[in-house]
Amino acid sequence: MALFNFNRPSSNNDGLKPIQLIINDETIEVSGADAAGMTVEQLFNKYAADSCDVSRINRYVAQGRIVSGGTPAETGTVYSGAIASESKG
Amino acid sequence: MTVLRTSTDGCWGIKSNSWGLYLTQVPDPDADTVISQEQLTGFEVHKDVPKIPSELWQRWINLCFEMTRLDSRNLEVSCRLLRNEADPTLYRIAVPEQSVTVASVRVDSFDKAIDIATGEVIEQWPPAGWRPCGSSHSHNTMDSFFSSTDDKYEIGDPGLHIVVGNIDVKDNTYTLAASVTANQRRFLIEPDTVLAPFVYTELTYHSSVLDVIKLPKQITSGFTSYAPRFTTHKSAATQDKLDMSLIAGELAAYNEAVDAIILACTERGLSPEKVLSNLSWDLEVKTYWNSTPLTIDDPFYWSAV
């Protein structure tokens, strides 16, 4: 049973503050445990892909400052992703 | 069977067969809701959603009309909508630096944008204290609808997206198509659920927005000649720098293709002059984009309506 040895309870009850990901008007909350060890870009790629085209995010902002996508995500932080180009037809 | 309930990956159970164990998706034993197809695909606008004020929206509509008056070609134009973070009832409209053609708008970066009301230059997108909440673009005299290019760029850009079309500068009329994109889907909505009722105003767009809208170059003559005479349109100085022999093979193929088009037009009752003239617009647009490379790594380079 080594492969299917699940640790419970779920990661929502880990006591870590969640991380908020914002893209335009959409907000996605990720539990602190789910975000552990992930970079900002990895978080957006995993948790914001249902909400937006993450490949078009070219800037991440936390507390008013631009941060690199490779920055390790910190629990309790709000990260915004900005889409900054477009075409219309 | 023990049910494993995950936060984003659904419910799973451990199954066993004669060879071993594996996970399989199972129904949620605590499921208590049936969702209809209409509910699954529908969208309900908040009754108390802050509407975009008419005084602000009219500035944008006036710019769309001005673009129609400026050029007899059906030039498009695009803007971005911003919502105030502290007071979500406040909106701004920003016109980013853009290149427009008869069938498209391209914005390489929102980092240079002009506030349509004040003329303020926005140098970093999004401006502090404001959150992007959608976009609008004009289809000029063409119908208002969401093209495949619009889908490509708007469905992954959550927010309100509105197309202004059927602009008639004589009758002062236009039509709108409005939508909200979310969850990588587009939901069509009635424009008046998000736009405040029309109020007449003398206010219009700030004149500096015109400075960031790059128009396509004008064609100075009809396209009645093709490759062999292509260079005769150039000045002598330009010809000296162009060694057309370097693309002799491609030019020969081009000439053959044009000859084939002329023949086909003649056989099928089309005007070769009109067809070649239409094609010349495509050439003009391609020439323009080739001379204006993208400044970012953009996976979607070009597509027409």
DSSP assignment string, B36-63: -HHHHH-----TTPPPBPHHHHHHHHHH
Cβ–Cβ below 8 Å for B302 and A87:
yes
pLDDT at B218: 63
Between A and B, how many residue pairs show a Cβ–Cβ distance under 8 A?
108
pLDDT at B235: 34
Mean pLDDT for B290-296 is 52
- Helix H or strand E encompassing B21: strand B21-25
Please say whether the beta carbons of B106 and B132 come within 8 A: no
pLDDT at B242: 66
Crossing angle for the helix pair B248-267 and B272-291, to the nearest 10 degrees: 150
Closest Cα in chain A to B125? A84
Interface test with A, best of B3, B154, B157 (most A CBs within 10 A): B157
With 80 as the cut, is the pLDDT of residue B140 above it?
yes
pLDDT at B285: 58
Lowest mean pLDDT among B127-141, B199-213, B278-292: B278-292
Mean pLDDT for B96-114 is 91
Q: What is the pLDDT of residues A37-68, one digit of tens each?
A: 999 999 999 999 999 999 999 999 998 899 99
Q: Of B112, B132, B110, B130, which is closest to residue B120 (Cα–Cα)?
A: B112
Please say whether the beta carbons of B101 and B205 come within 8 A: no
The CATH class for the domain spanning B54-214 reads alpha beta
The ipTM (two decimal places) reads 0.84
**Residues making up chain A, counted from first to last:** 89
| Residue B299 with chain A: CB contacts under 8 Å | 55
Residue B24 to residues A7, B4, B19, B30, B98, Cα–Cα distance (Å): 18, 10, 15, 17, 50
Cβ–Cβ below 8 Å for B158 and A64:
no
Cβ–Cβ below 8 Å for A82 and B131:
no
With 50 as the cut, is the pLDDT of residue B221 above it?
no
Q: What is the pLDDT of residues A64-80, one digit of tens each?
A: 899 999 999 999 999 99
pLDDT at B290: 63
CA distance A27 to chain B (A): 11
CA distance B189 to chain A (A): 17
Q: What is the pLDDT of residues B243-274, one digit of tens each?
A: 777 887 787 788 778 878 888 888 888 887 77
3 state SS of B19:
coil
Q: How far apart are CA B197 and CA A59, in angstroms?
A: 36
With 60 as the cut, is the pLDDT of residue A12 above it?
no
Cβ–Cβ below 8 Å for B156 and A11:
no
Cβ–Cβ below 8 Å for B157 and A3:
no
| Residue B125 with chain A: CB contacts under 8 Å | 59, 82, 84
With 90 as the cut, is the pLDDT of residue B125 above it?
yes
Cβ–Cβ below 8 Å for A89 and B133:
no
Q: What is the pLDDT of residues B47-96, one digit of tens each?
A: 999 999 999 999 999 999 999 888 777 789 999 999 999 999 999 999 99
Q: What is the pLDDT of residues A22-35, one digit of tens each?
A: 999 899 999 998 89
Q: Tell me the pTM.
A: 0.74
CA distance B51 to chain A (A): 15
Please tell me which residue, B109 or B75, carries the higher pLDDT value.
Answer: B109
* b/e burial code for range B139-175 (CB count within 10 A of at least 16 → b): bbebebebbebbebbbbbbbbbbbbbbebeeeeeebe
CB within 8 Å of A61: residues ≥ 6 apart: A67, A79, A80, A81, A82
Question: Could you state, in order of their start, the residue ranges of all structural domains in chain A?
Answer: 16-83
Question: What CATH number was assigned to the domain covering residues A16-83?
Answer: 3.10.20.30
Rounded to the nearest integer, the mean pLDDT of chain B is 84
- Residues facing B100 on adjacent strands: B105
With 80 as the cut, is the pLDDT of residue B292 above it?
no
Closest Cα in chain B to A26? B158
Q: What is the pLDDT of residues B150-180, one digit of tens each?
A: 999 999 999 999 999 999 999 999 999 999 9
pLDDT tier, B299 (very low <50, low <70, confident <90, very high otherwise): very low
Question: Could you state, in order of their start, the residue ranges of all structural domains in chain B?
Answer: 54-214, 227-291
Among A11, A51, A88, whose Cβ lies nearest the Cβ of B104?
A88
pLDDT tier, B229 (very low <50, low <70, confident <90, very high otherwise): very low
Cβ–Cβ below 8 Å for A84 and B125:
yes
